[in-house]
Amino acid sequence: MTTPAHPSDRPLGVAMIGYAFMGKAHSNAWRNVASYFDVPAFEQKVLVGRDAEAVAKAAATYGWTETATDWREVISRDDIDIVDICAPGWMHAEIAVAALKAGKHVLVEKPLANTLAEAEAMATAAKAARAKGIQSMIGFNYRRVPALALARELVSEGRVGTIRHVRAAYLQDWLSDDQAPMTWRLRKETAGSGALGDIASHAIDQVLFLLADKVTEVTGRLHTFVDRRPGVDGLEEVTVDDAAWATLSLASGAIASVEVSRVATGRKNSLTLEIYGDKGTILFDLENLNELGFLDAAAPVREQGFRRILVNEPEHPYLKAWWPQGHVIGWEHTFTHQVRDFLTAIATGRAPSPSFEEGLNVQYILNAVEESAAAKSALIQLPANSAPASDPQGA
């Protein structure tokens, strides 16, 4: 454990870069976390965006004290201690590395970066900063779904026995309409990849997190179903994938299948996870995020069957801070839990999870899927030094 690097004579100053979808979600977390959790004092000081008028409007709505259009100027300020990066992926590496070198704690949205080289640079910078007490974390917020945190506990306690195989599917439909307009998320130079980096990163991180395992081999396939979409100058070429498939071999001997799509008509935000062991099975669906399905194969056959665990008791992960049992929580709470864990890590000096190194592990797997797809589903070996995911609640 390193010495905490934060001021003791004033609240921590937070700056957030980016104010669109993820900026709104993160702002909601910063605005509410201290009302429910015991965290170090902090202030929502600066919201950063390129459009001065738009960022000022967002800051007034989301609770930020002031605004700026130059992130470089903001990270040089002595009253800024934490930088929360919600900008598009192509900006992550430059901002994160600069902020860490400036002595700021950094939280960055997933995926870690658009390229493997950028992700490696970020992990290197994070390691050097950690030695000085500067913390960093990647925002895989689904680790903070209480039902999934409970699932990890059940797996680690041996309740499902030896894991044999896992199915992970993350399906959305916001690009099902072939007339849906062109956006930065559909250009490789700004997004890095399509459904692969956007939502397969979540699914893969969950496999690593739930099993506390690491991937050794990958096969994959990518596909773009709609290769041209309407833009400001007419039809423009889509240069990323609409859907991706991968088979992951894990060090434990388990096999995981991953399927993701942004053209799965009727699926709005469906992350489903199935974990099959020799002593039981766990089922989860993000569209019912307060529930966990569990089968105990050690029970007598005449009593076996999936039972529904409603995850809203004070004994369940994170939930003691919220409402009386029977009162469910929502998707936005995962970001509040994420900020709670990050602030606690800063206060204690204990490195939070998922670390940039864990984000880099996911990036290696995403890169392997792309390599395999380019080589017609060839088998790709993963680096031997990749580490299993750790538990965020240790913070």
- Domains, the chain, in order of start with CATH, read 12-141 (3.40.50.720), 145-329+355-393 (3.30.360.10)
Report the C-alpha gap between 94 and 113 in whole angstroms: 10
Using DSSP, state whether 309 is helix, strand or coil.
Answer: strand
For residue 395, what pLDDT is reported? 45
- Residue 2 burial (C-beta neighbours within 10 Å; 0-12, 13-18, 19+): middle
Helix, strand, coil percentages (3-state) for the chain, rounded to 5, are 35, 25, 40
Q: Which long-range contacts (CB under 8 A, 24 or more apart) does 68-72 make?
A: 68/15, 71/15, 71/17, 71/95, 72/98
In this structure, what are the phi and psi dihedrals at residue 170, rounded to the nearest 5 degrees? -125, 110
CA distances from 155 to 53, 167, 215, 256, 329 (A): 49, 15, 17, 15, 23
Q: What is the pLDDT along the chain (395 residues), one digit of tens a residue?
A: 455 566 678 999 999 999 999 999 999 999 999 999 999 999 999 999 999 999 999 999 999 999 999 999 999 999 999 999 999 999 999 999 999 999 999 999 999 999 999 999 999 999 999 999 999 999 999 999 999 999 999 999 999 999 999 999 999 999 999 999 999 999 999 999 999 999 999 999 999 999 999 999 999 999 999 999 999 989 999 999 999 999 999 999 999 999 999 999 999 999 999 999 999 999 999 999 999 999 999 999 999 999 999 999 999 999 999 999 999 999 999 999 999 999 999 999 999 999 999 999 999 999 999 999 999 988 899 987 666 677 776 54
For residue 73, what pLDDT is reported? 98
For residue 387, what pLDDT is reported? 63
